[in-house]
Each structure stands twice: as C-alpha cells, then as structure tokens.
Amino acid sequence: MFNYRLSRARLAVENAFGLLASVFRIFRKPLIVKHSTADDITLACAYLHNFLRRNSTAKQLHSPPGTLDFENTDDGTVIEGEWRKEIQNDCRMVNLAKTPRNHGNDTKKIRDAFLDYFMSNEGRVSWQDKYL
C-alpha cells in the first residue's frame, strides 16, 4: 500500500513539474544558478502558472482536459497527459543513471514516517485496499 500511495504522490509531482516545464522552458535543462535563485525562478513560475489558471476560461486555455496524467481507477493504469509528448519532442532532459544509492538514516526515518501515516486510520482512504 505504501508503494502505491508513494506512486500516486510521485504522479502528482510529475504532473506539476511537467506542466511547468511544458510552459516555462527554463525547466527543460539543468538550472546552473545559486540555490536561492533557483527558488526564486521556481516561485515566479508557480505564481505565473496560478495567474494563468485564475478563472475557468483561462484554465481551459492554459491546461485543457487531457493535459495532465490521470489514473484509470478501474484498472489502476496511468493515462499519460499531453505535457509528456510536448516535453519529449523538445527536451534535453536525460534519465538518471541507475546507480545504487545508500540513503542516510534521516531519509529512512522520513520514509518510515510516511509508511506509518499511510497505513494508519488517519492516512487511510476508503478505496486503498482495492489495489492491494
């Protein structure tokens, strides 16, 4: 269940970043700037994104239906959004090399905290057992 919920969270993050990268080309290559400048760029793009979605008409123009990935809840498959096609056609992003990673104890504690939350009654959703 934890892996499923983590996968859903990752899908949300991929959609958010993918939509930003499809509109703001600065995210299509590595940002070679100071950390604080990267924060400022990201916040500025997030504000502009929110402005572009300020009402239903603007939302339809900026991110019409089918733009984002979504999950078919009947069979659990993910239907890819249009942003993925746009990014693949004009992108210098490359997949990270598959190398073993030994995460630190802090990372493992965070993972375990998420595991405890998702499996508790507080973090549980009514339909999650359907995918076990």
In sequence order, which residues have a C-beta less than 8 Å from that of residue 124 and are 6 or more positions away?
Answer: 118
In whole angstroms, what is the distance from residue 126 CA to residue 83 CA? 30
**According to the model, what pLDDT value does residue 37 have?**
92
Residues 37-50: what's their mean pLDDT?
91
Task: Name the least confident of 35-39, 100-104, 109-113.
Answer: 100-104
- Is the residue at 50 inside a domain? yes
pLDDT of 57 higher than 60: yes
pLDDT of 18 higher than 60: yes
**According to the model, what pLDDT value does residue 14 have?**
82
In percent, the amount of the chain with pLDDT more than 70 equals: 77
Looking at the 3D structure of the chain, how many domains does it have? 1
- Is the residue at 72 inside a domain? yes
| Residue-averaged pLDDT of the chain | 76
pLDDT of 62 higher than 80: no
Residues 17-46: what's their mean pLDDT?
87
- Is the residue at 131 inside a domain? no
- Is the residue at 34 inside a domain? yes
- Is the residue at 117 inside a domain? no
- Is the residue at 127 inside a domain? no
Give the structural domain span for 6. 2-99
- Is the residue at 23 inside a domain? yes
**According to the model, what pLDDT value does residue 127 have?**
65
- Is the residue at 118 inside a domain? no
